[in-house]
Amino acid sequence: MTEQNPQVPNQTPGVPDELARFLTEDQDPQQVAKIYAKVSQLLTRGEQVSYIAVQKALTYDPTPEIAILTNRRFIHYQQNLLGRAQFTDHIWRELKEARLEEGMARATLTLFATNGDVIRIDNLVKEQARRLYAIAQEMEENVREELRLRAMEEKRAEAGGVYLPGMMAAAATAGSTAAPADEPLQALSKLKQLMEAGLITPEEFETKKKEILARL
């Protein structure tokens, strides 16, 4: 998968390098530091934060909404004045459409999920909104490509008389030709790609990996 946030020189004194890369489009350093610390505790194995966008109203807002994009999902963070916080997330394969609207000073990003949920974040700095939209579009394309490859893999498996739930072609049935020696490696590589794209969970990845290794 294409790296979403290339490394840039740290131009923000006093800010750790791991956070400086999220401050390239006028993000609030304090808000970014707070949300990064919180969301880091929610990440699954292999999940990485790709981008953080912070709502910036024209008037002071002590509780801005925040969008956190990872290689697996879109996370929407909201907090009220009483300190109550809410995280709402959707894995990328649940994204149906992303829509960007730009006004005179700020922009609005709206995401439509396949289950009918709508996430709308307004008062975004235009540069941040454009980055969110571009990454969402790229992830949507990645998911479509993964689904296309998955369908091809399933058809190929069915054509050979072999099909394992979950998408992987495996060992041949009795009397069929033995699979090539590198097929397990290809299967493991494919599984990892599907996990990174959010098409399967880490738990599903581990289960399938054990099944493949057990056949060696």
> Do 131 and 176 belong together in one domain?
no
The CATH code of the domain that includes 61 is 2.30.29.30
CB atoms within 10 A of CB 91: 17
Does residue 10 sit within a domain? no
**What's the pLDDT score for residue 2?**
44
Helix (H, G, I), strand (E, B) or coil at 124: strand
User: Cβ distance 209 to 187 under 8 Å?
Assistant: no
166 shares a domain with 121:
no
Shared-domain flag, residues 119 and 81: yes
Q: With respect to residue 208, please indicate whether it lies within any of the assigned structural domains.
A: yes
- DSSP code of residue 92: G
Does residue 148 lie within any of the structural domains?
A: no
Q: Single out the residue in 140, 170, 205 at which a domain terminates.
A: 140
pLDDT one-digit tens code per residue, 178-211? 445 567 777 888 878 777 777 777 888 888 888 8
Residue 75 lies in a domain: yes
Same domain, residue pair 23 and 119: yes
Q: What is d(CA 15, CA 21) in angstroms, rounded to the nearest whole number?
A: 10
Residue 212 has pLDDT above 90, yes or no: no
Pairing relationship of beta strands 66-70 and 49-54 according to DSSP bridges: antiparallel
- Indicate if 87 and 53 belong to the same structural domain: yes
- Domain hosting residue 49, numbered range: 17-140
Q: What is the pTM of this model?
A: 0.63
Whether residue 3 is contained in a domain is answered as no
**Within a domain: 87:** yes
The answer to whether 124 and 111 are in contact (CB under 8 A) is: no
Instruction: Please write the tens of the pLDDT for every residue from 105-155.
Output: 899 999 999 999 999 999 999 999 999 999 999 988 888 888 888 888 877
- Total domains present in the chain: 2
User: Is 77:66 a contact under the CB 8 Å cutoff?
Assistant: yes
